[in-house]
Structure 1
Amino acid sequence: MLPLSTQSILVHDMTARNEYLQGVKALLPVVPGVLPFAAICGMASVEAGMRVPEAFGFSFIVNAGASQLVALQLLDKHAGAFLVVLAVLVVNLRFTMYSAALAPYLRNAPSWARWVGGWVLSDQAFGVSVIRMEQGGTYRFYIGTAVSMVFLWQLGNAMGIFLGALIPSAWQLDFAVPLCFLALIFPVLRDRPCCVAAVLGGSVAVWAAPLPYNLGLMAGAFAGIAAGLLAELRGGRK
């Protein structure tokens, strides 16, 4: 029979491994939306003139679909490096809000988990993880989800890079972009402020969709945040 201390270590290791796997499994429902979206980004990189290593490096470093598309659109129009970087930073402002929301749950996580967790943060990883974290999930669940999302994103980009030319133009894959985000909305519609934020943010995003460089998405995000905060403040006064 194993010593009690050894048994405790084995149980801890099994529990930790199970949390990582739960994070991986939780990502499965968003796969149908993520792969086509990532493939679009991969195709766009090749169409912009990037070679295969450059396209992979670009996808791996940026690791954010909306930012990749914005940067590629600007590069295609021969915009300066400063403007490209500025546009990407603006589009990625939402990640500061995600980070602030996740920070309390990662406060006691190891340093490596916080460093890795910051880089692998994505819309999907946040949307899937934040609900579980509120229910007592640990950093392991988040890392399992977020790291899996990175691999999934790179797989989709690879499909676009290598197979993009074989995809018929009649296949309109653009539907995957809103689908990718819609899959994250419904699980968090649990109270009035969330519903108000979703309805108003979605409406503004649709209305502002014609804006260039995915600015409609940012407009919808800020409108939704403002509406949700206002609804929460008004609800608290009653």
Structure 2
Amino acid sequence: MAATPSAPLSVDISGMRIKYLDKKELFLESDLACREPIGQFKVWFDEACKTPGILEANAMCLATASKDGTPSCRYVLLKNFGKEGFRFFTNYSSRKGKDLAENPKAALTFYWEALKRSVRIEGLAEKISASESDKYFHERPRDSQIGAVVSHQSTIIHGREELAAREREITAQYENKEIDRPDEWGGYLVVANKVEFWQGQSNRVHDRIVFRKADASEANGETTHLGEDGWVFERLAP
């Protein structure tokens, strides 16, 4: 049965297009600074931090899915990273927290527009210890600590004044006192099993190199290269 033609959409932006780079900046396997993804991420992240126009290089889009597979994504800030994984903090009772309780699979995406680079990370999210969450919570600015107590994230509220009233209440309650970390607020560690590095090209023939965890016995081939620390890497068509 033939599909019924759809009505034209009212806003056509198909002609929006910019030149990505003044010169062709290929990203080849020989350009990898490290043969494992965390070291390579640090090289790109450090460059993003130094690049004018990138205000929050640690901003990342976190994608989660519920038990029935309903997806959801939002921006959060990366706070630590290393070979153990990528760490961020949030409210465990929020939608993302509930998703991760049902389905720990998560994906992170960084996009550094000024460099025309993106990094995608896939893995499993796990809660960090209460003591680690306590430590970071008390390193935050006091206003941010109060904000974490004030907001029962993702719940429906009557209006802005409800938040303002609770903020006044919490501020008064903890005047000259240390603020207790809410039990429902804390950190997650995303343990990566796949990390993709993307370098944009003006001709749209982009460069994509992906690292993935593999069996230690996996041998070098024409398309698969052995990396370090149990990783292999491959080039993907754009």
TM-score, normalization: structure 2? 0.22
Larger RCO of the pair (alpha carbons < 8 Å, separation 6+): 1
- Greater helix content: 1
TM-score, normalization: structure 1? 0.22
